[in-house]
Amino acid sequence: MQKNVKCKQNWWPCAPNTTSAALTALLLSGIPAQAFDALEITFQGEDSALETALRRSSLLQSARDEGVEDPFEVFAIARAEYGQLIGTFYEAGFYAPQISVRIDGREAADISPLNPPATIGRIDLILTEGPAFVFGQAQLGPLARDTELSDDFASGQPARSTVIRDATTDAVDGWRELGHAKAEPTDQQITARHPPGALDVAVQITPGPRLRFGQLRPDGQRRTRPARIVKIAGLPTGEVFSPRDVQRAAERLRRTGTFASVALREADEANPDGTLDIDASVVEAPLRRIGAGVEFDTEAGGKLSAFWLHRNLFGGAERFRIEGMVGGLGARSGKLDYRLGVEFSRPATFTPDTTLNIGAFVETERESDFEAQRARLDIGLVHRFSDELTFGAGIAALLERADVGPNLQTQRNYQLLLLPLDVTWDRRDSERAPTRGFYARGEAMPFFGLRDSDSGARVYADLRGYRAFGQDDGIVLAGRAQAGAVFGADLDGTPRDLLFYSGGGGSVRGQPFRSLGVTRGGVRSGGQGFAALSAEVRVRATDTIGVVGFADAGYVSEGAFSGSSDWHAGAGIGLRYDTVVGPIRVDVGYPVAGDTGRGFQLYLGIGQAF
């Protein structure tokens, strides 16, 4: 006999009951396991998309693929198959299907769970779609102002259960956006009429009272002070309830990195004064973290870096990081570079969206045309206006000593007070491997010279765009444009750290690192004007491997796009291998224009080039 499953009053799945696993396991103790030999799925209908969905959602098919052998487990899965597949039928708008699950010729629903089969040889799954239903009456309300339901929820449209669910969710969300936090569907009448194959739907929404935010109640913290959790979350206590404010509060807590998980839940009942408390359940991440990185390119050599991080230094989600780097390993210059830096950050300083950053570093930089030692101290604030837009401002002090000229005989000392400003607009779909959207960053940094150092300003812009094409977005076009300039200061009076070079993985691949600069008075240095263009075609070859073709070009000028200048270009191919931390990048570039080239250049790293 076939199991004819029809639920006329409810649009959610219905299924026969099954006995408990513990009872049946006791009854079957001592029975040897044997996998079922064959599974045959027969679909009797014309909707190929529905057939595909049924096969993908079949519990028996999954069990077969996973090699499930225990007869009781297979029997339990077979009895659960009715409820699993009826939901798939409802999602496609079929409310009179027939589902038959036959175990060696016997209908699974007719086999007593107290007397399950000891062995299972063959299972036949026969599915008949029946007539497709359309909406008859489609009523849902009342609706909040400006709430618009999908056109799919209307008389004559296919009566998919997902449409009812989505329309109900939209209606409830509309009221919640206006502060009615406890809005819910309180009455629903859903009837399938056979014939004419129509589904009548009437759902009553009860908005409930308009509520205001009460208190945020932290729970689960071990080291973090509750007052700091409340401050970081920034829940607007006393203001009208908004789901978006709850989401923002959770994101602020997650961004600190102090918590492994964050969940904000509304209290079950509102307070007598019309406020609604929010419970914040947090799980703290491990206090400390260490990491290391490796990079390599042919000209600059290898770079080894490592860091130590404390996530919650004073119990207020403060982060303290120490990092070190050794560069130039195996470089053609034979010179090593060193860097040691520390950074402290404190979230929710002044406002919930403002972070205080204090950082300092000392480093050496040895290039073919100069050797420099520098130290810098930064104090700044970063304010997040939204998930996409951030703004930073601060003050810094820079000390640099550079040996330049032939045989590095000329020494220059710089002492500067810096006022760095930056804005970032990031609308990429992914930070590590974007396929759509754009990224824009602008920097402006006035600097004031002390002890005979020049004053001026440095500006820089970085624009990136991404567009995906083809099946499953298998082809991505990526482009990048960079431009920068130094105004006001003389070239010789500008620290090497503020000048621009071209060449290497960050600008023009295929050209040696920092190979393009300018020469004045026999002294080679970076320039005060810079521009670069990069383009990539990224093609996904397999689920984990991608192939990239790229072309880059760079320009450097003596002044801010004035005076002597030069440009060069490179092109090449690369491979990407996707990992959980981002794609591993291997690029091979070759110079195609300019006189700075030295043959093939190899670049290794993690993440896309831009």
- In angstroms, rounded to a whole number, what is the distance separating the alpha carbons of residues 375 and 386? 33
Answer whether residue 21 shows pLDDT above 70. Answer: no
pLDDT tens digits for range 134-154 = 999 999 999 999 999 999 999
Burial of 173 (0-12, 13-18, 19+ CB in 10 A): middle
Answer whether residue 15 shows pLDDT above 50. Answer: no
* Backbone torsion region of residue 130, taken as left when φ is above 0, otherwise alpha when ψ lies between -120 and 50, otherwise beta: left
Residue 336, token pair as written in the block: 């090593």
Cis peptide before 196 (omega within 30 of 0): yes
Answer whether residue 313 shows pLDDT above 90. Answer: yes
Confidence of residue 590 (pLDDT cuts 50, 70, 90): very high
Q: What does 323-338 look like in DSSP terms, one character per residue?
A: EEEEEEET-TT---EE
Please tell me the number of Cα atoms within 13 Å of 492 on its side-chain side. 12
Q: What does 432-501 look like in DSSP terms, one character per residue?
A: SS--SEEEEEEEEEEEEE-TT---EEEEEEEEEEEEEESGGG-EEEEEEEEEEEEESS-STTS-GGGSB-
Residue 573, token pair as written in the block: 């191919």
More confident residue, 195 or 409: 195
Q: Residue 247: which residues within 8 A CB-CB, separation 6 or more?
A: none
Confidence of residue 410 (pLDDT cuts 50, 70, 90): confident
Q: What are phi and psi of 223, to 5 degrees?
A: -115, -25
Confidence of residue 329 (pLDDT cuts 50, 70, 90): confident
Answer whether residue 158 shows pLDDT above 80. Answer: yes
Answer whether residue 487 shows pLDDT above 80. Answer: yes
**Entry pTM:** 0.79
- In angstroms, rounded to a whole number, what is the distance separating the alpha carbons of residues 86 and 48? 17
For residue 296, the cross-strand partners are: 302, 604
The runs of H, that is alpha helices, within 221-317 are 226-233, 243-255
The confidence score (pLDDT) of residue 24 equals: 38
- In angstroms, rounded to a whole number, what is the distance separating the alpha carbons of residues 234 and 248? 8
- In angstroms, rounded to a whole number, what is the distance separating the alpha carbons of residues 535 and 512? 18
Range in 209-223, 305-319, 358-372, 379-393 with the lowest mean pLDDT: 358-372
Cis peptide before 142 (omega within 30 of 0): yes
Answer whether residue 17 shows pLDDT above 50. Answer: no
Q: Residue 171: which residues within 8 A CB-CB, separation 6 or more?
A: 140, 141, 143, 144, 147, 149, 185, 203, 205
| Strand ranges across the sheet with 259-266 | 212-219, 275-284, 259-266
CB 267 within 8 A of CB 277: yes
HEC assignment per residue over 11-37: CCCCCCCCCCHHHHHHHCCCCCCCCCC
Tell me what the mean pLDDT of segment 339-345 comes to: 98
- In angstroms, rounded to a whole number, what is the distance separating the alpha carbons of residues 213 and 236? 7
Angstrom distances, CA of residue 314 to CA of 222, 291, 321, 469? 13, 22, 14, 48
Three-class DSSP category at 404: strand
For residue 476, the cross-strand partners are: 468, 538
- Do you know the residue count of the chain? 610
**Closest C-alpha among 232, 239, 208, 204 to residue 218:** 232
CB 608 within 8 A of CB 432: yes
Residue 11, token pair as written in the block: 């649009």
Burial of 431 (0-12, 13-18, 19+ CB in 10 A): exposed
Q: What are phi and psi of 167, to 5 degrees?
A: -65, -40
Answer whether residue 14 shows pLDDT above 80. Answer: no
* Average pLDDT value for the chain: 90
Confidence of residue 328 (pLDDT cuts 50, 70, 90): confident
**Closest C-alpha among 36, 4, 39 to residue 116:** 36
Confidence of residue 539 (pLDDT cuts 50, 70, 90): very high
Amino acid letter at 537?
V
- In angstroms, rounded to a whole number, what is the distance separating the alpha carbons of residues 210 and 180? 4
Tell me what the mean pLDDT of segment 169-176 comes to: 97
Q: What angle do CA 513, 515, 519 make, to 5 degrees?
A: 150
CB 566 within 8 A of CB 503: no
DSSP letter for 285, please.
Answer: P
pLDDT tens digits for range 245-259 = 999 999 999 999 999
pLDDT tens digits for range 225-247 = 999 999 999 999 999 999 999 99
